[in-house]
Structure 1
């Protein structure tokens, strides 16, 4: 039951959003943009506990406006097949709707209430059997207005927040990774075919089910636990309960059979604590440092993936926390594997948790005077485009998704030099939230510009008019140059700069041939990108006017930031 679309109105920082959601979905944006609120809106309506009006408070309402109502709609694709009775045909539930509103009339007018609805593929409320059918009895049907609890119960929700406490991921926690794993383990233990060999007192070895063996051992354990004080406590509670109910504790003793019972198997699993051995001692893993706790939680995720669990919805905040780059890349692979049979929605500030070839899995989250807003690419990610992007894959290029402004350049020369010119002009490119991405050659500029523009990222392009990549086909290059120039917008949000020949010639023309050659001799046996950076570092070197124009645009604050 993956979520295919989410609509949220008036929840926390969200005034109104309406966006499709992919099986793997990365939410990217600055702090306080509303990424976590998107996850929490999903968590609120899919958590297993029965939803009531107390599931929301006035603090959750956008702007804390008492006249506003919260609305959350989740569309499901494929739909959830709901079957109220075994004998009934299943009906499709294609969307679920929740509204935190107020009574309009009646004695409770003005008080908050929670309204739940579900809808079929055509937008109508599903029609289901009113009661279990009996032979010879005419079937009666009724409209299903409220969302059945099975929608939540049969689709596990696993929430991993930014507060990486291991305690929240132990089996006793409702939305934990370990709970999902132990539910499977418990189902396996309950299987009558799951047997264990035990020896009788006479030494004879027999096979019994694990469940039977568990209950036998728990009975033995209860005999040990039943001290005189234990039995007296149990008896006292029973006697007092009988008195409070108006019975005689002696004559009516059999009217209330009250006793303590041991855990069932799953309750026993839920009570387990994870321990870490230190020499002859052990401590609870919940007592160790944050970094180790986070590593254990991420290891649980990987264990879940290896067990091939299906049908869960994972909500994860900042999976990169406490992980060095190599482990971030490893965990990203795990999330992608989980996403094949589950849905994974996560927030991130790390370029290691996104990939340009999968740009259609990215949603940019922004916040302005109208609250949280979303940007998703409408550019078709077909097989040809994906394969081309995979060939040009470079993790550094993933930074484009995190940029407030993006400058696309052909190669390393511009990428290394422009930040140094910015420093000399009194600007810090990183502090400005800007990113310079070299795309691996002129022929890739259009593709990267299309992706950036589809996300409405303010984008600048720097290119050489006459590139060696087109030396045998100038007509095609002119057509390509026209495509690049077309990205420029009248409002200056997107800009394009053309070097008449190349970066080096712009330097040569600005400082003069003699001075330029002197710099070249000053840095002999040096690659062009490195030499360009060293020249840019020299406070006495002239900064070409076009370079200043590029830098000024790059560090300019976008209108919507």
Structure 2
């Protein structure tokens, strides 16, 4: 059973998200793009008194800012009508913002028993299951009354709006609800079979002090693993401990003044004093246990090791061994935090094994690490930017996933979130571009990535993700005698966000040789070294291509060190570099 689709409306900076989801969801994005908000939002439909300590009711700050601005603008434009009762409560209700998170759930076979009360439609012969969290006014008339009082006392404008904006949107008159997607009620016994666990990024405080290391979570984990027979064995061992204590301590030696007492019967009275086992609750016994590593307390380990061990314990303890849970949503913020590369890979392996073993668990995690992006299952990826979300499961076809998976240098973070990025096709282009960039300090902020041919899908997604960001993408291609492919790629060229340039010749080498005085410069510099002295431009080009990357490496090394005075970059590459070098207005 899995969540296959989510719709988020007006939750914090997530104004309008409607995307499909894979079995495991890897959320990537820049800082402040909405990753943490997405993880919080996905858990809202599963809030119950049994599985949360946080308030199920949202607050004023949880409502999307742009939505609130639209609401306030309507209030300002209609304040005279509100004062004069020219707007009804029903009309006013249409102004009010609401927050909602709706998830579609896929179930099959025996799983359908758990979601039978969540069905709301039939599409293409399949029953649709879903639940919806909504934070909305419980009585619009109360809010209308408050707003009317505010606008009757003062004229509202942009200048004084900040003084009264919370009174114009009094969320104390809002309430939350969790219902089936069609608006019908969800039985409590059904909802309690769905739960969530959230591990936020702020784990450092937990791992600092000795008395916190593993206390609650390790105890929970141990308790979940103890059977009734295990508890009976612990109680018996506890009794044995006290018998040994009685024998060692000898209570008669502790209280022995009766031997010299003149009181008759004193010895008989004190002989009945004894030590009895006082079996504490299992919680108290287990609370004396702390986490350790290599025979040392965990507090003695480095921050990375502490976080790694703690995550292992937390994940196992949170999920326990419950058998009456239909779906357990687990969200983790930045599981790679403080981890070295080897421990990062260990965490990746652990999460994969964990989700494979626990079929009722659906994992959602945010990350800034390419190690957590599975090239063989890119359908898991959701890209967030500026509160908007794009799911690879929605945007790409099977052939596109195959294209990306075969790319040896796939780095989605650099591709989508670099301020300036160049995509190219081969090793020769990489050597030339990198050496040129290295020779110019002003170009150090340009990211360079190698990709296979066929950039159309990448540019489609890039444009969606980077709309209004001010980021720029440069595409450098070989002509390869494919005029139709050139036309298809040129359609994306706008010289504002994307610059696409293609060689005039078949590949890169003749483009270099026939640019400016490059033929003479290369022949004079490397004639003796590469045997180019008596070659024409065409012959030199062919010899260079046959040498593959060997000659290119030498030339590029000299270019980076400034030893090729007068050498010019081919026009198609220089155009892209010039495009990226231009200052652009970044939209914040």
Confirm or deny that 1:99 pairs with 2:135.
Answer: yes
Task: Check whether the contact 2:214–2:310 (CA below 8 A) recurs between aligned residues.
Answer: no
Q: What residue in structure 1 maps to residue 230 of structure 2?
A: 210
Measured at CA, do residues 105 and 397 of structure 1 come closer, stay the same or move farther in structure 2, by a change above 3 Å? closer
* Structure 1 residue 494: Cα displacement: 2.9
Q: What residue in structure 2 maps to residue 533 of structure 1?
A: 556
Task: Check whether the contact 1:74–1:97 (CA below 8 A) recurs between aligned residues.
Answer: yes
Higher strand share: 1
Q: Distance in 2 between matches of 1:308 and 1:521?
A: 74
Measured at CA, do residues 491 and 499 of structure 1 come closer, stay the same or move farther in structure 2, by a change above 3 Å? closer
Q: Number of aligned residue pairs: give it.
A: 454
With 521-530 and 4-13 compared, the bigger mean Cα shift is at 521-530
With the length of structure 2 as denominator, give the TM-score of the two structures.
Answer: 0.63
Task: Check whether the contact 2:395–2:461 (CA below 8 A) recurs between aligned residues.
Answer: yes
| Structure 2, gaps ≥5 residues long | 72-95, 120-128, 147-169, 246-277, 531-546
Measured at CA, do residues 97 and 448 of structure 1 come closer, stay the same or move farther in structure 2, by a change above 3 Å? closer
Q: What residue in structure 1 maps to residue 450 of structure 2?
A: 438
**1:442-464 Cα distance to aligned partner (Å, 9 max, x none):** 4x556755665675686432122
* Structure 1 residue 533: Cα displacement: 2.8
* Structure 1 residue 272: Cα displacement: 4.0
Q: What residue in structure 2 maps to residue 32 of structure 1?
A: 32
Task: Check whether the contact 2:8–2:101 (CA below 8 A) recurs between aligned residues.
Answer: yes
**1:307-343 Cα distance to aligned partner (Å, 9 max, x none):** 9999432212222222233433443343344444332
With 399-408 and 507-516 compared, the bigger mean Cα shift is at 399-408
Q: What residue in structure 1 maps to residue 476 of structure 2?
A: 462
Q: What residue in structure 2 maps to residue 21 of structure 1?
A: 21
Q: Distance in 2 between matches of 1:551 and 1:95?
A: 50
Q: What residue in structure 2 maps to residue 256 of structure 1?
A: none
Q: Distance in 1 between matches of 2:580 and 2:220?
A: 47
With 297-306 and 397-406 compared, the bigger mean Cα shift is at 297-306
**1:234-289 Cα distance to aligned partner (Å, 9 max, x none):** xxxxxxxxxxxxxxxxxxxxxxxxxx984256x765774313466xxx53x25643
> What does residue range 84-233 of structure 1 map to in structure 2 within 5 Å?
92=119, 94-99=130-135, 101=137, 103-105=139-141, 110=170, 111-119=172-180, 123-125=182-184, 144=185, 148=188, 151=191, 154-166=194-206, 181-182=221-222, 184-186=224-226, 189-190=227-228, 209-215=229-235
**Greater relative contact order: 1 or 2 (C-alpha under 8 angstroms, separation 6 or more)?**
2
Q: Distance in 2 between matches of 1:268 and 1:13?
A: 46
The partner residue of 2:577 within 551, 556, 560 is 551
Q: Distance in 1 between matches of 2:14 and 2:343?
A: 33
Confirm or deny that 1:415 pairs with 2:430.
Answer: yes
* Structure 1 residue 10: Cα displacement: 3.3
Q: Distance in 2 between matches of 1:270 and 1:4?
A: 40
Task: Check whether the contact 1:418–1:551 (CA below 8 A) recurs between aligned residues.
Answer: no
With 286-295 and 66-75 compared, the bigger mean Cα shift is at 66-75
With 318-327 and 39-48 compared, the bigger mean Cα shift is at 39-48
Q: Distance in 1 between matches of 2:113 and 2:215?
A: 28
* Structure 1 residue 347: Cα displacement: 1.6
Q: Distance in 2 between matches of 1:392 and 1:33?
A: 26
Q: What residue in structure 1 maps to residue 510 of structure 2?
A: 505
With 102-111 and 511-520 compared, the bigger mean Cα shift is at 102-111
Q: What residue in structure 1 maps to residue 347 of structure 2?
A: 331
Q: Distance in 2 between matches of 1:527 and 1:537?
A: 16
Task: Check whether the contact 2:45–2:178 (CA below 8 A) recurs between aligned residues.
Answer: no
Q: Distance in 1 between matches of 2:352 and 2:581?
A: 34
* Structure 1 residue 21: Cα displacement: 2.6
Task: Check whether the contact 2:500–2:576 (CA below 8 A) recurs between aligned residues.
Answer: no
Q: Distance in 2 between matches of 1:531 and 1:418?
A: 14
Tell me, what secondary structure is at the counterpart of 1:510? coil
Q: What residue in structure 1 maps to residue 540 of structure 2?
A: none
Task: Check whether the contact 1:3–1:76 (CA below 8 A) recurs between aligned residues.
Answer: yes
Q: Distance in 2 between matches of 1:523 and 1:101?
A: 80
* Structure 1 residue 515: Cα displacement: 0.6
Confirm or deny that 1:350 pairs with 2:355.
Answer: no
* Structure 1 residue 90: Cα displacement: 5.8
Confirm or deny that 1:296 pairs with 2:315.
Answer: no
Q: Distance in 1 between matches of 2:44 and 2:520?
A: 69
Task: Check whether the contact 1:305–1:337 (CA below 8 A) recurs between aligned residues.
Answer: no
Measured at CA, do residues 19 and 38 of structure 1 come closer, stay the same or move farther in structure 2, by a change above 3 Å? same
Task: Check whether the contact 2:203–2:307 (CA below 8 A) recurs between aligned residues.
Answer: no
Q: What residue in structure 1 maps to residue 333 of structure 2?
A: 317
Q: What residue in structure 2 maps to residue 75 of structure 1?
A: 103
* Structure 1 residue 519: Cα displacement: 3.8
Confirm or deny that 1:518 pairs with 2:524.
Answer: yes
Q: Distance in 2 between matches of 1:44 and 1:157?
A: 11
The partner residue of 1:375 within 390, 394, 397 is 390
**1:85-141 Cα distance to aligned partner (Å, 9 max, x none):** xxxx86545213131646434699852443212215xx241xxxxxxxxxxxxxxxx
Query: Which is higher, the Rg of structure 1 or of structure 2?
Result: 2
With the length of structure 1 as denominator, give the TM-score of the two structures.
Answer: 0.66
Measured at CA, do residues 59 and 272 of structure 1 come closer, stay the same or move farther in structure 2, by a change above 3 Å? farther
**1:57-105 Cα distance to aligned partner (Å, 9 max, x none):** 3343334959775523131422586779xxxx86545213131646434
